[in-house]
A = this chain, B = another copy of it.
């Protein structure tokens, strides 16, 4: 488990890397209001705050003074009245010491510290924000409108945080493995429940309950649908029907907030049709192809394109695509079926550090984002390095609106057989298969026990629940 040296070392490394002076402000999260001020969602600490300062409590605020080399946590202790309602409380001073922070003070002192820093024209570093309440508070602190925080967003802080967080150490991998173990139980449970007549809402609720019973809960809103072809699909109103495919994209957060993120696609009732099996095995082959390539030094863009090629070849073999496959992939024809990226970084955020700006996390000076439908959605293109944790999630989808659009607009007609698509695949749905991997010295390891993935393994798991 992490201890105070973990956090001291993270802050020291950040301090050493920062090319600029001034104050770094890291607001912890406040409670997120649900339907009125005192009824809140489950508390979620800010990832940057928890990475640097550890403390998993609302209304905390971290400051790193780059000039004086001091780290602060600001927060209010509870008074005697609160103790009656909240039970005995450890003072902030003592809690902060557990994370190696020696300087603590009440929130009002934060206001005077920032006021003074602004008056002295010291540089202030913040990261991009994502919650309204935090923006309102930062606006107050910095005496600007909450929608005028951009000048304080620090590219150097952002770049240093990415460098720090993108490589996971052994303790972090342990935490991700914990999340993966919860994810394993979620996915095998979903398989066992994939029986005709069961509702999507029921299965989604049960597996989210597993995430809550073993960790912080889900790492992102569960996708669980017989309409796997709808990529942004959080609707769970369907009832399972034999012959349909149920796509489940779900993950957990360990109690430390480290995430898992897996996708499996399950035949309702337990038997793939032969057509489903064909497409399924194309996706699996693409997943395995990328698996075999991941290693330090290779770009994730290359892995993405290699998986795309496996998909295009497979689709040609079943008559859906045609022509020269290298040309097809160069022209992005595969993207009608695989319109998203191969994967993304994973860590304290399921799309790790996405809040800092995806392009800064996934790309660099050498590998730039590709401006082509499909590949433009690849979140991670740059060279892989030892210690990266990434997802591998190819998919094949039959999206009626997209098929219609490309057909009408004459896009990639040389590579796609629209006739067979319209005759046989409009109600197919979609398949995605996603594992989480650690880039090692020489290759990559799947994190956690691998969730059943072959046709035989998945069918056997569904059979357990029949």
Which residues of A are interface residues toward B (Cβ below 8 A)? 32-42, 44, 46-47, 80, 83-88, 130-136, 140, 145-147, 201-214, 217, 220-221, 227, 229-233, 257, 339, 348-351, 354-355, 399-402, 405
Q: A36-B349, A208-B209 are in contact. List 12 more A-B contacts (CB 8 A).
A: A33-B130, A34-B220, A35-B349, A36-B351, A37-B354, A38-B351, A39-B221, A39-B349, A80-B401, A86-B232, A87-B229, A87-B233
Q: Which of chain B's residues have a CB closer than 8 A to the CB of A201?
A: 212-214
Q: Which of chain B's residues have a CB closer than 8 A to the CB of A36?
A: 47, 130, 349, 351, 354-355
A255 CB → nearest B CB, Å? 8
List 27 A-B residue pairs with CB atoms under 8 Å apart, sorted by A's residue number: A32-B34, A33-B131, A34-B44, A35-B46, A35-B355, A36-B351, A36-B354, A37-B130, A38-B354, A39-B220, A39-B350, A39-B351, A80-B405, A84-B339, A84-B399, A85-B231, A86-B233, A87-B401, A131-B133, A136-B146, A146-B146, A201-B213, A202-B213, A206-B213, A208-B208, A208-B212, A209-B213
Q: A87-B230, A213-B202 are in contact. Are A41 and B32 (CB under 8 A)?
A: yes
Compute how far the CA of A349 lies from the CA of B205 in the bound complex, rounded to whole angstroms.
21
Compute how far the CA of A128 lies from the CA of B165 in the bound complex, rounded to whole angstroms.
40
Q: Are B209 and A212 in contact (CB under 8 A)?
A: yes
Q: Which of chain B's residues have a CB closer than 8 A to the CB of A147?
A: 136, 140
- A35, A44, A84, A210 interface centre (most CB from chain B within 10 Å): A35
Specify the chain B residue showing the minimal Cβ separation from A30.
B132
Compute how far the CA of A213 lies from the CA of B37 in the bound complex, rounded to whole angstroms.
26
Q: Are A401 and B84 in contact (CB under 8 A)?
A: yes
A61 CB → nearest B CB, Å? 16
A209 CB → nearest B CB, Å? 1
Q: Which of chain B's residues have a CB closer than 8 A to the CB of A229?
A: 87
Q: Which of chain B's residues have a CB closer than 8 A to the CB of A205?
A: 209-214, 217
A248 CB → nearest B CB, Å? 14
Compute how far the CA of A405 lies from the CA of B38 in the bound complex, rounded to whole angstroms.
27
Specify the chain B residue showing the minimal Cβ separation from A237.
B255
Specify the chain B residue showing the minimal Cβ separation from A203.
B213
Compute how far the CA of A239 lies from the CA of B194 in the bound complex, rounded to whole angstroms.
32
Q: Are B130 and A136 in contact (CB under 8 A)?
A: no
A315 CB → nearest B CB, Å? 18
Compute how far the CA of A349 lies from the CA of B33 in the bound complex, rounded to whole angstroms.
13
Compute how far the CA of A208 lies from the CA of B44 in the bound complex, rounded to whole angstroms.
17
Specify the chain B residue showing the minimal Cβ separation from A233.
B87
Compute how far the CA of A136 lies from the CA of B133 in the bound complex, rounded to whole angstroms.
9
Q: Which of chain B's residues have a CB closer than 8 A to the CB of A221?
A: 39-42
A115 CB → nearest B CB, Å? 17
Q: Which of chain B's residues have a CB closer than 8 A to the CB of A85?
A: 230-232
Q: Which of chain B's residues have a CB closer than 8 A to the CB of A41?
A: 32, 41, 221
A224 CB → nearest B CB, Å? 11
Specify the chain B residue showing the minimal Cβ separation from A352.
B36
A44 CB → nearest B CB, Å? 5
Compute how far the CA of A334 lies from the CA of B461 in the bound complex, rounded to whole angstroms.
57
Compute how far the CA of A38 lies from the CA of B355 in the bound complex, rounded to whole angstroms.
8
Compute how far the CA of A233 lies from the CA of B342 in the bound complex, rounded to whole angstroms.
42
A152 CB → nearest B CB, Å? 17
Specify the chain B residue showing the minimal Cβ separation from A133.
B132
Q: Which of chain B's residues have a CB closer than 8 A to the CB of A88?
A: 400-401
Q: Which of chain B's residues have a CB closer than 8 A to the CB of A80?
A: 401, 405
Q: Are B208 and A204 in contact (CB under 8 A)?
A: no
Compute how far the CA of A44 lies from the CA of B402 in the bound complex, rounded to whole angstroms.
31
A464 CB → nearest B CB, Å? 19
Q: Which of chain B's residues have a CB closer than 8 A to the CB of A38?
A: 351, 354
Compute how far the CA of A411 lies from the CA of B231 in the bound complex, rounded to whole angstroms.
63
Q: Which of chain B's residues have a CB closer than 8 A to the CB of A134?
A: 132
Contact of A354 among B39, B220, B233, B402 (CB under 8 A): B39
- A80, A203, A206, A209 interface centre (most CB from chain B within 10 Å): A209
A56 CB → nearest B CB, Å? 11
Contact of A209 among B34, B83, B209 (CB under 8 A): B209
Contact of A135 among B132, B213, B350, B351 (CB under 8 A): B132
Contact of A214 among B44, B84, B202 (CB under 8 A): B202
Compute how far the CA of A366 lies from the CA of B348 in the bound complex, rounded to whole angstroms.
54
Q: Which of chain B's residues have a CB closer than 8 A to the CB of A37?
A: 130, 354-355
